[in-house]
Amino acid sequence: MLFILFLVGVLLIGWFIPQAILRRANFRFAAILAVVCALVSGALFIWLGAQIAGVMGIGDAATEFERGFNAWKIMIFLAPASAIQAQSRKKNRGA
């Protein structure tokens, strides 16, 4: 059950954080910043969720982090795709 929560959270973070950053940022390396922010915030979400699960007794924190990390790997592809999509949409609106 916790893996599904991690998976949904990572998908939402990986898609919406780059979109939100690129909607407001107007500098050259905004896409790289957006991807890094999404990856870091996703890792923080997984770590915090694993720690909370360990404290609540749902499972071992290290085991839950390993499961969450497997879900986080999706963001390696999702966050850049979201950033590229947001950047191309921004260019098309400006043209």
Return the number of other C-beta atoms located less than 10 Å from residue 55's C-beta.
Answer: 9
- Residue 92: predicted pLDDT: 83
- Residue 11: predicted pLDDT: 93
- Residue 93: predicted pLDDT: 79
CA dihedral sign of residues 45, 46, 48, 53: positive
- Residue 25: predicted pLDDT: 86
pTM of the model: 0.86
